Amino acid sequence: MNALLLSAVLGVIMMFSGIMLKQKSSVRNIAIAGMGLLLLVNILEMNGAVFFKIDVRGMIVFDRFALLFDTIVFISTLLYLILSARDMEKVGIHYADFFALIFFILCGITLTSSFKSLLILFLGIEIISIPLYILTGSDKRNLKSNEASLKYFLLGAFSTGLMLMGIALIYGTKGSFDTIKLNTFTQAPDLLLIAGMTLLLFSMSFKVSAAPFHFWTPDVYDGAPTVFTSFMATIVKAAVFIAFIRLFDEAFGLLQSQWQLLVAIITVATLIIGNITAVFQQSVKRMLAYSSIAQAGFMMLSLYAMNTDAKEGLLLYTAAYSLATIGIFAVLIKMSDYTFDGFNGFARQQPLLAATTTIFLLSLAGIPLTAGFLAKFYMLKAALGTGKHLWLVIFAVLMAAVSVYYYFRVIQAMYFKEGNAPLVHVTPVFKWTMIVLAALVILLGIFPNLLLNWYYF
């Protein structure tokens, strides 16, 4: 509850700071300080210090899972702001508004991670989506940004329509929006409920860009300004995943036999399309967009399995994937050429940044001793725990092997190819933050319990 209220207030503060303050650096400092405060109050809430006690009639419950997820999101966002806030200046003149929109998105994320009612799910998803439409189109003179924004808006609104129809059909059969009341039934599930659930499954797959509803993702991620792609592809995607898994765990847990096979098929399609298409990309930004689809396929395994391992794994995956991808994007923003060739000889110019980027890429590929390996391991363990569909696990491992190819292409370009990647100017703070990110990725890869113990204690 602390984080929910504070993030909304911070959003308003940022809007005013754009009018009051002339210096861009002071706006940025306020945003970073506010983000730190948000993280602090959320950690305080995990330790039992709730500042506001508001009767929400059981529609929102901040349990351990939600609070830990919010903490991971806030840490990632804090590091993201420290790394990339400077680069938002290039996007447009309304600098403070970008921070305001990011805080509003965080407000939506706290809702989607803690909802107990389909009403809150809908509001949370919309509070995330509407600011994202604006951020995608924030580069107003750039036709690619315009196109990405319009495409994202039309398809996002369409999938919201599908989601609402699903909710309406479920309401018709159950007479309630409460996820706990939805999960109680005795007689055989009727057709309207199954239809509503399928519509919800489709619209949520749409929001997390799972195949066959992924077609908007590469275009939107490619067209959006790179700073905001970094945010969209990591933190927002993980937040929608948490809503997805909570919804199907709490509201449709008893119907698992009805949707499990469908989810398995979507998982396979997502893994194959994401990984195979990423191999053929020439632009690193577009490759990362397809890689985010591929990683979403791995996260879908947690939805498929839906047991304790799956929940722990999803938290770890969120941390591993977000931290690594934010780091890679932070380097990518500094480049002038987004193709693989643009990275040629980068290691000679910037040995430190090249080394940290290599760690992030290894983590995304799932090489042991990085967080990405353990995250994938938890997902596969969870999927094995269901005792069904062994082929799904084997297939996922094969696809992880395919993903090594396109991640290693970047490493190869940085270390083994001659060329002169443009000399990028980075501040010492940027370098130290990259080191912290890389350290976190390795630390979580060796001691995942540093994170997961928070789930229980």
Positions touching another protein (CB under 8 A) are 119, 122-123, 126, 130, 133-134, 137, 140-141, 143-144, 146-151, 153-154, 157-158, 160-161, 164-165, 167-169, 171-172, 175-177, 218-219, 222-223
Residue 104 CB, nearest distance to another protein (Å)?
11
Helices (H), 93-142: 95-112, 118-136
CB 314 within 8 A of CB 281: no
Cβ-count burial 390-399 (b if 16+ within 10 Å, e if not): eebbebbeeb
The residue (of 148 and 239) whose beta carbon lies closer to another protein is 148
How would DSSP label each residue in 237-249?
Answer: HHHHHHHHHHIII
Residue 301 buriedness (CB in 10 A; 0-12 / 13-18 / 19+): buried
The residue (of 65 and 221) whose beta carbon lies closer to another protein is 221
The residue (of 156 and 445) whose beta carbon lies closer to another protein is 156
The residue (of 149 and 267) whose beta carbon lies closer to another protein is 149
Residue 163 CB, nearest distance to another protein (Å)?
9
Give the whole-angstrom CA distance, residue 38 versus residue 40: 5
The residue (of 176 and 183) whose beta carbon lies closer to another protein is 176
The residue (of 181 and 348) whose beta carbon lies closer to another protein is 181
Angular region, 114: left φ>0, alpha ψ -120 to 50, beta rest: alpha
Residue 338 CB, nearest distance to another protein (Å)?
13
Q: Which residues contact 82 (CB under 8 A, 6 or more apart)?
A: 32, 429, 430, 433
The residue (of 285 and 409) whose beta carbon lies closer to another protein is 285
Residue 435 CB, nearest distance to another protein (Å)?
35
CB 58 within 8 A of CB 136: no
Give the whole-angstrom CA distance, residue 158 versus residue 20: 38
Overall size of the chain counted in residues: 457
CB 288 within 8 A of CB 231: no
